[in-house]
Amino acid sequence: MTRYVISDHHFGHANIIEYCDRPFSSVGQMDGELLNRHYETVEDDALLVHLGDVAMDMRDGAETIDYFQRLGGDLLVRGNHDIGLDAEAAPFPVLESCTLEQGDYRFHCTHRPADVPDDWDGWVIHGHIHNNDTDAYPFVNYDARRVNVSSDVLEFRPLSLDALTELLDACPPGTHLETVADARELLDGG
Q: Identify the pLDDT of residue 190.
A: 59
Q: In this predicted model, what pLDDT tens digit does every residue of 64-73 receive, in sequence order? A: 999 999 999 9
How many other CB atoms are there within 10 angstroms of residue 4's CB atom?
26
Q: What's the distance, Cα to Cα, between the start and end of the chain in Å?
A: 31
How many other CB atoms are there within 10 angstroms of residue 28's CB atom?
10
Q: How far apart are CA 80 and CA 129, in angstroms?
A: 11
Model-level pTM greater than 0.75? yes
Output the average pLDDT for the chain.
Answer: 96
Q: What is the mean pLDDT of residues 131-142?
A: 95
Q: Identify the pLDDT of residue 57.
A: 80
DSSP string, 26-49: SHHHHHHHHHHHHHHHS-TT-EEE
Q: Identify the pLDDT of residue 9.
A: 98
Count of domains forming the chain: 1
Among 84-88, 92-96, 173-177, the least confident range = 84-88
Q: Identify the pLDDT of residue 83.
A: 86
Q: In this predicted model, what pLDDT tens digit does every residue of 8-66 receive, in sequence order? A: 999 999 999 999 999 999 999 999 999 999 999 999 999 999 999 999 887 899 999 99
Which domain does 133 fall in, by range? Answer: 3-187
Q: Identify the pLDDT of residue 154.
A: 97
Among 6-10, 18-22, 86-90, 147-151, the least confident range = 86-90
CATH number at residue 19: 3.60.21.10
State the pLDDT confidence band at 189, using cuts at 50, 70 and 90. confident
